């Protein structure tokens, strides 16, 4: 049977991808950020996931204001890097796992979650930057990836509780898949940031660090946090953090924290990163 072994959270700031693509990772500004992922690169090389369920938000690339699903799952065999206005990132094509993806869709929909099934879409920096942070610049990504897109761009986004419950439903679906697969789930986005208006550039380190601590050890204290709290405390784009709750909901109640990293700033954003392992054998 498939086994969900670990979870990862990470920000997916587009300028991080640009720094990687342009060879700027060792510059004074960027080096401290990338150093925070040294452990994770070694860890994931040892753990060798077969499939990553990568929770992210599309940035008006695959979806537009004409069509915005709350939750969507990519079931295609492959996903090309998107052109976000300056050409696609020079990264490998993302290889999907259609059989597991359709199993997840069937299981989760029958578990009362209305996922939109997407059989063709390009994937933007929300998905490719986390892959680059964890795997570097390989000729091909070393695992299959199932994109799970969440609407945190247009109002209303899903509640934290609904996201957490979706993670639990995904865990049940993985556990019932009859192939021997090492599966990880990643929650991306955040942390505190605001991209426009009088509060543009807002970063709330106290909020971010408290969120990370509770996510690891007391996630039940986060699941009912109202959207307005994210807006007030973490900026208009801080709502992306509900995607981390999908990751956490898919893990055991008690997890082993292998790595925690927090860095300010990357562009105008706070970067947070966790590596968590399940305790069940």
What are the catalytic residues? 125, 193
Question: Is the peptide bond prior to 165 cis by the omega test (within 30 degrees of 0)?
Answer: no
Q: d(Cα 271, Cα 67) in Å, to the nearest integer?
A: 29
Per the CB < 8 A criterion, the answer to whether 235 and 173 are in contact is: no
Q: Residue 261: name the closest of 214, 216, 212, 217 by CA.
A: 212
Check: CB of residue 54 under 8 Å from CB of residue 148. yes
Bridge partners for 31 per DSSP: none
Nearest of 188, 191, 215, 212 to residue 265 by alpha carbon: 191
Rounded to a whole number of angstroms, the CA Rg of the chain reads 17
What strands lie across the sheet with 3-10, from one edge to the other? Answer: 116-118, 71-74, 144-150, 51-56, 182-188, 3-10, 269-278, 255-266
């Amino acid at each position: 049977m498939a086994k969900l072994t670990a979870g990862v959270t990470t920000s997916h700031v587009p300028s991080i991808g640009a720094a990687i693509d342009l060879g700027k990772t060792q510059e004074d500004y960027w080096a401290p950020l990338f150093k925070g992922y040294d452990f994770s690169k070694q860890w994931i090389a040892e753990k060798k996931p077969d499939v990553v369920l990568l929770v992210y938000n599309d940035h008006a690339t695959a979806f537009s204001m004409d069509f915005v699903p709350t939750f969507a799952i990519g079931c295609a065999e492959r996903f090309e890097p998107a052109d976000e206005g300056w050409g696609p990132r020079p990264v490998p094509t993302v290889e999907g796992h259609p059989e597991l993806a359709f199993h997840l869709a069937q299981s989760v929909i029958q578990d009362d979650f209305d996922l939109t099934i997407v059989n063709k879409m390009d994937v933007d920096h929300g998905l490719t930057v986390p892959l680059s942070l964890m795997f570097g610049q390989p000729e091909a990504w070393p695992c299959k990836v199932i994109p799970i897109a969440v609407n945190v761009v247009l109002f209303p986004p899903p509640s934290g509780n609904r996201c957490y419950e979706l993670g639990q439903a995904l865990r049940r679906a993985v556990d019932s898949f009859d192939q021997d697969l090492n599966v990880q789930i990643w929650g991306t986005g955040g942390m505190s940031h605001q991209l426009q208006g009088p509060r543009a550039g807002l970063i709330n380190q106290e909020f971010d660090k408290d969120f990370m601590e509770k996510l690891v050890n007391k996630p039940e204290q986060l699941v009912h946090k109202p959207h307005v709290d994210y807006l007030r405390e973490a900026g208009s784009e801080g709502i992306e953090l509900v995607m981390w709750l999908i990751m956490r909901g898919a893990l055991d109640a008690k997890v082993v924290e292998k790595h925690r990293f927090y860095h300010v700033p990357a562009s105008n954003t706070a970067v947070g990163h966790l590596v968590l392992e399940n305790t069940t054998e």
